[in-house]
Amino acid sequence: MSKKQTPRALYNLILSALFAALIVVMTAFVKVNTGINDGYVHFGDSMIYIASCILPLPYAAGAAAVGGALADVLAGSAAWAPFTAIIKACNALPFALVYVRRKHVPHRLLNKATAFMPLVSGVVTVLGYFLAEGLLYSFPTALTSVPFSVVQAVGSAVIYYAAAAALDKADIKKRIYRNF
């Protein structure tokens, strides 16, 4: 790694830690318990979406995995942490992959390419937790949680759209990386 890359890598690591903390707060502390299989509905995925629009791929997936898994541990659902780490890292992928193939990275969090990614990421959430719950309990039991996963995905999408629009208005992406 060259000297010029080191500050950017460190900066991305620091931003990843900040986003992981935001994901923890929005997941473990801003939640509604469902009473089904230790589950709860949260809106931490919205922070994963925003992190994935700002951070490069490995950092976004890392922040999502660490933040989601740590939230499970803090919320008293440690058995879910390994599953959550994988699912949340996968939640970051659709957003991050939008930016990987582009020569010019948009400075807007909400754009034509990212507008549909909450839908893709929401499907990842619903299927991921269905599979995890099927393995932990049973697949018939896992079906009972699907509606809550859908509510979580839709709620996170709505929060993402509102937050991304507000952050775009403040030119947050340009401000974050203006020195790099």
Residue 139 clears pLDDT 80, i.e. is over it: yes
E strand or H helix at 128: helix 117-136
Q: What is the mean pLDDT of the chain?
A: 89
User: What CATH topology corresponds to 5-176?
Assistant: Arp2/3 complex 21 kDa subunit ARPC3 (1.10.1760)
E strand or H helix at 31: strand 31-33
Average of per-residue pLDDT across 32-57? 83
**pLDDT tens digit sequence for 68-84:** 999 999 988 899 999 99
**pLDDT tens digit sequence for 150-178:** 988 998 999 999 999 999 999 998 898 88
Average of per-residue pLDDT across 79-98? 94
Q: Where are the domains of the chain?
A: 5-176
pLDDT, residue 25, reads: 95
Residue 93 clears pLDDT 90, i.e. is over it: yes
Q: Are 67 and 88 in contact (CB under 8 A)?
A: yes
Confidence of residue 31 (pLDDT cuts 50, 70, 90): confident
pLDDT, residue 30, reads: 83
Instruction: Give the orientation angle of helix 81-100 with respect to helix 45-54, to 10 degrees.
Output: 40
CB atoms inside a 10 Å sphere around CB 159: 20
d(CA 49, CA 76): 24
Neighbouring residues of 85: CB distance < 8 A, sequence distance ≥ 6: 65, 66, 68, 69
Regarding pTM above 0.75, the answer is: yes
Q: Are 75 and 27 in contact (CB under 8 A)?
A: yes
179: phi then psi, degrees, rounded to nearest 5? -95, 5
* 1 exposure class (CB count in 10 Å sphere: 0-12, 13-18, 19+): exposed
